[in-house]
Structure 1
Amino acid sequence: SDSSVAMFAATGEPARIVPATIIGGGLAKGLAAMNPAGTDVVLEPWQTVASHGLPSGPIYVCTRNDELEPFIEKTPADRRKDLVFFQNGMLDPLFQKYGLQLNPSNPNASTQCLVYFAPGPKPKDNVTDLNPEGLTAAFGRHAESLARRLKSADLSCKLPDEAHFQSMMLEKLIWISSFMLAGVKNGGVKIGDVEENHASDVLVLIAELLASCRLARGHW
C-alpha cells in the first residue's frame, strides 16, 4: 500500500475518545454512541456552539450541505478551525471563503471526513473487493482523534496526505455523481440496480467527469 495513505491501527491500549460537540441527524447520534463515557455534547438544531457546545475540541458537523454556511456563520471565529465536516462533495470553495482550507500550512485549517460506513446502532464498514481494508478517510486538524473514535467502533479510517485526500475526495464525488445521474436517467432506480443493469451509463459518466477533473486540477 502507498506509504502516504496510512491506516489508523489499534495499539493494544484503550482508545482515548476526545470529547466532541456534535450537530446533525443520524450520523451525529452514531458518532456520539462511539463515546461510551458520554462526554460529548449533541446540539439540538436551535442550539449553537457558543451557547451550548464544549469550550474546546472537535466540532462534528453532520448537517445537510445547504445548512453548512449558516452553521459556520453562527460558530465563533476562534472555534471554526475545530469544525469537522462529514458532507459529500468538494467543499473547497466554502473552506476558502471562511479561511478553513485543509492545507497544513493554514493555521485555521479545519478537518474533513469521507464517510464510507453506514451509521446505526452497530455501524457497518462499507468495503469493496478492491478495498477490503475500508474506504473512510479523514484529513485535517482532528483527523487522528476521529480515526481513534471510529476504530473504537471497529470502523476503519485512512489518514492520507493532502494530495491523496484530494484524489480520494474527487473519487467519491465522481462515484456519487455518476451513480445518481445514471439512476435518474433510468427512472430513478436504486444504486444496486444501476450497478447490475446500467453499468455502461456509469462508465461513460465516470470517463467524462474524470476528464473534467484532469483539466481543472492538473493531475489525476
Structure 2
Amino acid sequence: MEIKFRMSEIKSFSEFLTDIENKVVKNGFSFIILINDTQKRDIREFVQEIKNHFDIFILEGAYIPSSKKQVENCFFNGFHGTYYLDKKEILNIDEEILKYTSLLFPKGSIFLEYSGSDRTIVDKILKMDYIPVIKSCDLELLDYTRMKIKKSKKLSRYLKYVPLLEQIKCEYRMGDKLKRKVILETDNLRQKLMIKNVDDSFNSSGL
C-alpha cells in the first residue's frame, strides 16, 4: 500500500500530522510518499517537522528529474529516499541522473515505478541499485523482483519498513521499531554531515 500526500492539498500542518497518525501510524505503516507539487523548492523545515513528530521514512514522490540540481534539492530537503513515478519510456531515461541519485541516497531507499512486464528492464533497474515497484498485475514479475532483491542485502535493507513490494502491511515487533529508529537516526545524521561538508566546501572557496 502506498500512502501519498500532495503538498498542494495540505491546508493545515496540524491536520496533516493527524492524517499521518490516523492513516499511517495507527495502521502499522512506517513511511509516507510526499509529493511536492508546489512552487516551493526549499521545504527543509516542513520535512524536519514531520521527523520531529514521527519515526517514519519520508520519500519524495516525483517524476525522474532532468538535472542533478533537482536531485540535490530532494536530498537537501531531508528526504530519506526517492519514489520516482511511472515513466513509460524508461529506456530513454538519463542514466547519469539515476547514478547521481544513488550516490546521494542510501542503497535500498530509491524506488522506481514500473508498469511494464519486461524482466530485462527490471534487471536494468536493479543493476542501478533502484527498487522497481511493479504496477502491473504481473504476479510472476513481482515474485521475480522480490527474489532478486532478497538476494541483495543492500537493496532489501528498507523493505521491511517500506513494503512497496508487498500487498499487505508488515507486522512490527518492538525490536523492529527500535531497528527502524536506529536506521532513521543513522540516515538523518549521515544526511546532516554530508550537507555540512558541502556547505563547508562552499564557504572555504568563498562561494
- Shorter-chain TM range is 0.3 to 0.5
**What TM-score, normalized by structure 2, do the two folds share?**
0.35
Higher percent of residues as helix:
2
* Greater Rg over alpha carbons, structure: 1
